[in-house]
Amino acid sequence: MQSKQLQPNIYHNPQNMKLQRLFLATLLLLCVACNTESDIERLNSQALEEYNIPVRPGYEGRNPYWNEFATKFTYAPAFDFKEVEGAEHYLYTVTPKDGNGEESWTMQADKPYLSLTPIWQQIEVGYVTLKVEAMQADKAIATAGERTFFRDFPFKAPYHGAIRGYRESALLALLHIHNMRPMQSWETAQTPDMSYQLNTYPCKIIGSTISLEVLLAKLCPELKDDALLIAENAARFLIAESRAEGDPLAFFPPTYYGNYITSGAARNKGKTMTMEALTAANAFLDLYDLTQKQEYYDRAINITNTYARLQAEDGSLPIKMDFATGEPVNEVKALLHPLLDHLQRLEQQYGVTDYAEMLTKAEQWMQQHTLSSFDMTGQFEDGTVLGLKPYENLTNCTAAPYATYLLGKSDTSKQELSDAIDLIRFSEDQFVFWDTIYKHHGIKIYHTPCVMEQYKYMMPIDHSACNVANAWLSLYEETGDELALMKAKALIDNITILQNANTGMIPTFWRNFFTGEDWINCTLLSIQTLLRMEEIEIE
């Protein structure tokens, strides 16, 4: 605003300079608010437009229909309904599940398996039933298919903003974990305090313990000595429990330890989840970065070498193995995104190119099997994949990190960018809840926005929220997509809201009336994500 547009007695009178500055500041804030509101409306409209585009529908021919077991959709779905002989066209009718008949949404199409794009934005949020009828003229001759699902809430900003700075939130969470009694016990012990029963998963939990303490040592120099003592004692435990050099699984720490949770189940006794050792390998790299002790770097490299020996010619690795013999427990193959992340780190951070062939083979296997089927089946150490049908237990925990890997490559191709976007859209479609309906008791049981973990455990988890948020942050950094940034921020801001203001604890489970032990590995990813968000905002 130029000075001539202001009243002279305000602008030129020295006694009113304070009032003039206040006026200008207020005007600036109003302008910023207007621009922000305009930007939000624009991005909300962009989100609605994108929701009209189905996620990898089977009729495109790139992959089969993947949504047989899906129960909710944010993007316009398409279902594998078969054509009916003699049909001239098909009538799609969507009605509220309660069947009150007050409203319905219809469309016609030449095929019964197309997406609901033409009417998707008209359908109200809630449980609905889709019926596709084969028609001759105006008469229905058969039902091609029927499906009930939840038409989910779209993204609609603004959401609650962060209630404290991202770095402050991260530090509070770090201090909370550091001060836990089971964590403090590492200062004098080289075995885990099993009062924290999740220590039954050494690679995942004790590996994360190391990484957390390394991070604390970097961010809080006054606690470096204590943090380093904890980290190194935890590392010595993993090393002591690892398979010996020359064994089939040489240098691998165990997936299971002790007799808690599912580690006591017969199916897990003496077994190991193949991808789990990578958490330990990355923890050793973190410890090397802090201490520059060669033994930790060498330990990580030796674990990587074992993966190289285990990799089949087609690039695959078994999901589960006998910890002593290295024999596969079943025919199921591991999804390789954790290995891809690890090899990417070795190359980008340390300049290690020795595993280029291994990386290429792993990439090709993921592209030829996971992307071609679009089957993001969950592979968790406390569950089982046995007896599952394809697509029966899909998860964001494969799709979103895989997308982050593709976007983190130094030379992401157009096809990889497209695949990454599809993986992110799938994760949002199936697992992100931007809002939730009130239950019969008049409350919302989920702390939205949130992200569910997997079909077999539709529980909002902070780790899952971070999986998807990080994929969106990577998409923003790769493409400048402001909507991706805003979606990521909404999830990350909710971490600060749900964080216990007194203790700094970030809850693992984002649901009312649910008490469960907080997973250290989940807290680690929340902390890392908060710090990443801070860096992006500073830039």
C-beta atoms surrounding 16 within 10 Å: 15
Q: Classify burial at 417, counting beta carbons within 10 Å of its beta carbon; exposed 0-12, middle 13-18, buried 19 or more.
A: middle
* pLDDT value at residue 400: 98
* Per-residue confidence (pLDDT) for residue 20, from 0 to 100: 40
Task: Look at residue 70 in the predicted model and tell me its pLDDT.
Answer: 98
With the CA atoms of 417, 398, 341 and 167 taken in that order, what torsion angle do they form, in degrees rounded to the nearest 10? 90
Residue pLDDT, tens place only, 8-37: 332 233 344 344 434 333 433 333 344 578
Question: What's the distance, CA 225 to chain centroid?
Answer: 33
Cα-based distances in Å from 116 to 77, 129, 352, 427, 507: 6, 12, 48, 19, 37
What secondary structure does DSSP assign to 203-240, as a single string? Answer: IIIIHHHHHHHHHHHHH-GGGHHHHHHHHHHHHHHHHH
Q: Side-chain half-sphere of 215: how many Cα atoms within 13 Å?
A: 26
Q: What is the pLDDT of residue 246?
A: 97
Instruction: List, in order of start, the domains of the chain with CATH numbers.
Output: 69-151 (2.60.40), 166-538 (1.50.10.10)
**Residue recorded with tokens 């942050």:** 473
User: Consecutive sets of 10 residues in the chain, 539 residues long: mean pLDDT of each?
Assistant: 30 37 38 65 97 98 97 98 98 86 89 98 96 96 98 97 97 98 96 95 97 98 98 98 98 91 74 97 98 98 98 97 96 96 98 98 97 93 84 97 97 97 98 92 93 96 98 98 98 97 96 87 98 92
CB 159 within 8 A of CB 142: no
What gap in Å lies between CA 34 and CA 161, rounded to an integer? 17
Which pLDDT score, from 0 to 100, does residue 101 have? 56
**DSSP letter assigned to residue 200:** G
**Which secondary-structure segment (H or E) carries 72?**
strand 72-73
CA angle 350–352–358, rounded 5-degree value: 135
CA nearest 198: which of 486, 480, 504, 463? 463
